A and B are shown apart, each in its own frame.
Chain A
Amino acid sequence: MRTLPPEAGEQMLACIPRLRRYARALAGDRADADDLVQDTVERGWAQLAAWQPGSDMRAWMFSIMHNVRIDQRRRRNVPTEPLDDETPQPFVPERASAGLELRDLDAALRLLPEEHREILLLVGLEEMRYEDVALTLRIPVGTVMSRLSRAREKLRALMEGRAPVVALKVVK
């Protein structure tokens, strides 16, 4: 009979500040972010029995948050189709909104597709290893790397006030 170590709950609660930081960066709005954390912690309690003692609690909680977030997006009123790397991007003329300053990082983050934002944050802010990002998001490491590359390039373009043009070249 498997018993859960009593400190499992404490380990989970210890993740909350980092979950909040990530949620704030991911969701933008403070109240939305804390709702996301609350749903994540509730689901964490409900599923704590499935956590493998000794495994990385942080990666486990972040993967729960990822699932909660997917569910939240799925139940939006307007049916939406998630953006992925294959989705054609709308054509944005260069300097379409000349007056709009995109230098603010937070505003620029909001303009990235969520799947790019989450990778950028898990790597850049959470400083997760690429393998752990892959586990958390349940995608191959190769996909992590290609999305990271696109995300950083888009963010760079946005911060420079350019329309994000994805132009990847293979460096040899």
Chain B
Amino acid sequence: MSILPVTEADLHAYVDGRLPSARKADIEAYLAAHPDDAGRLQDYAAQNAALHALFDPVLEEPVPPRLAAPPPRSWQWQSLAAGLAIAILGGGAGWGLRGVVSQEARLEQDSARLAYKQSVSGLAHQAAIAHVVYSPDVRRPVEIGAEQEGQLVAWLSKRLGSDIRPPRLGKLGYELIGGRLLPGARGPVAQFMYHDRTGQRLTLYVSNEQAHNRDTGFRFTTEGPVNVFYWIDGKFGYALSAGIDKGELARVASAVYEQLEKPA
């Protein structure tokens, strides 16, 4: 008989031809002594063959033109943007913003106002990079998923030292995917990710390190293919990013703002 005990997984691997040849002999010896299992495995092999018989003809069908359509133009942009974000991160510039806001900043004479402006637009820039880096991720777009929202809220609130919770955007067609913790300019910040039914993803970046503590109204900026609405509310900075048009993003931003103002 066999040296290693025969497991259920071994039997399936035998059916699927995934066993090393040395092990195959063990299983064959086992099956010779266990006709019930041998019969069961025959049925499983017949299932595999029947699946091929039933569905392999689909491989031979001509592919409908709508499925083999050329890529939408936007994918080139996303590819560029992702490359750019990686280059910035990889280049050691971290979450810095100097290069991007300097043109606007040079027009400013007052150094205090300059620092303030940098921190405000830096928020949008950091949020846009975080959006571009994480939103295309298929397997790990978030660290904690919406199914564990309680844990997500508790964890982010603890790490940021403030009550942080994701707004509900279901009425606007966006469901929470989950969230993650990110490094901000001085400490941790939070990112919540949502998607609509087409898979369009939207991220809300929340920081509580706005030292200037001065409120702003809504501001809008475009970072490559990403549109960003952002605003400061006391020590909190919020930035909502997505590759959707300004009008729709504004609608979502208003809903987020309202919910944050009037917590449920």
Distance of A1 Cα from B126 Cα, bound (Å): 19
Chain A nearest Cβ from B41, distance in angstroms: 9
Quick check: B136 and A47 within 8 Å, CB to CB? Answer: yes
B87 touches A (CB below 8 Å)? yes
- Size category of the binding interface on chain B: 35 or more
Interface string of A84-114 (1 = CB under 8 A from B): 0000000000000000000001100000000
Also in contact, A75 and B68, with CB within 8 A (given A50-B137, A121-B51): no
Quick check: B18 and A74 within 8 Å, CB to CB? Answer: no
Also in contact, A49 and B51, with CB within 8 A (given A21-B56, A21-B58, A171-B11): no
Chain B residues with Cβ below 8 Å from A138 are: 139
Quick check: A24 and B58 within 8 Å, CB to CB? Answer: yes
User: Size of chain A's interface in residues, with CB distance under 8 A?
Assistant: 58
Quick check: B51 and A124 within 8 Å, CB to CB? Answer: yes
Also in contact, A1 and B87, with CB within 8 A (given A71-B199, A171-B11, A172-B5): yes
Kindly identify which residue among A2, A9, A129, A152 contacts B18, using a CB–CB cutoff of 8 Å.
Answer: A129
B213 touches A (CB below 8 Å)? no
Smallest CB-CB separation from B30: which chain A residue? Answer: A171
Those of B110-158 within 8 Å (CB) of chain A? 136-139
Those of B40-77 within 8 Å (CB) of chain A? 40, 43-44, 47-48, 50-52, 54-56, 58-59, 61, 63-64, 66-69, 71-72, 74-75
Distance of A37 Cα from B9 Cα, bound (Å): 31
Chain B residues with Cβ below 8 Å from A120 are: 47, 51
Chain B nearest Cβ from A161, distance in angstroms: 13
Quick check: A21 and B55 within 8 Å, CB to CB? Answer: yes
Chain A nearest Cβ from B20, distance in angstroms: 13
Chain B residues with Cβ below 8 Å from A168 are: 8
B94 touches A (CB below 8 Å)? no
Kindly identify which residue among B18, B64, B82, B84 contacts A34, using a CB–CB cutoff of 8 Å.
Answer: B64
Smallest CB-CB separation from A17: which chain B residue? Answer: B59
A58 touches B (CB below 8 Å)? no
Also in contact, A123 and B8, with CB within 8 A (given A46-B78, A46-B199, A156-B44): no
Chain B nearest Cβ from A33, distance in angstroms: 8
Quick check: B138 and A60 within 8 Å, CB to CB? Answer: yes
B258 touches A (CB below 8 Å)? no
Chain A nearest Cβ from B177, distance in angstroms: 10
Main SS of chain B's interface residues?
helix
Chain B residues with Cβ below 8 Å from A170 are: 7-8
B37 touches A (CB below 8 Å)? yes
A41 touches B (CB below 8 Å)? yes
Also in contact, A171 and B8, with CB within 8 A (given A1-B86, A42-B72, A156-B44): yes
Quick check: B12 and A148 within 8 Å, CB to CB? Answer: yes
Kindly identify which residue among A37, A130, A145 contacts B67, using a CB–CB cutoff of 8 Å.
Answer: A37
Those of A108-140 within 8 Å (CB) of chain B? 120-121, 123-125, 127, 129-130, 135, 138
Quick check: A50 and B136 within 8 Å, CB to CB? Answer: yes
Distance of A138 Cα from B195 Cα, bound (Å): 19
A163 touches B (CB below 8 Å)? no
Distance of A20 Cα from B137 Cα, bound (Å): 23
Interface string of B2-42 (1 = CB under 8 A from A): 00011111011100101000000000000000100100100
Quick check: B44 and A152 within 8 Å, CB to CB? Answer: yes
Chain B residues with Cβ below 8 Å from A24 are: 55, 58
Chain A nearest Cβ from B48, distance in angstroms: 4
Quick check: A130 and B18 within 8 Å, CB to CB? Answer: yes
Distance of A135 Cα from B48 Cα, bound (Å): 21
Distance of A92 Cα from B202 Cα, bound (Å): 44
B residues at A contact (CB < 8 Å): 5-9, 11-13, 16, 18, 34, 37, 40, 43-44, 47-48, 50-52, 54-56, 58-59, 61, 63-64, 66-69, 71-72, 74-75, 78-79, 81-84, 86-87, 136-139, 175, 195, 197-199
Beyond known contacts A24-B55, A42-B199: 13 more, CB 8 A cutoff: A41-B69, A45-B71, A45-B72, A46-B72, A48-B71, A49-B78, A50-B136, A125-B48, A130-B13, A153-B40, A155-B47, A156-B47, A170-B7
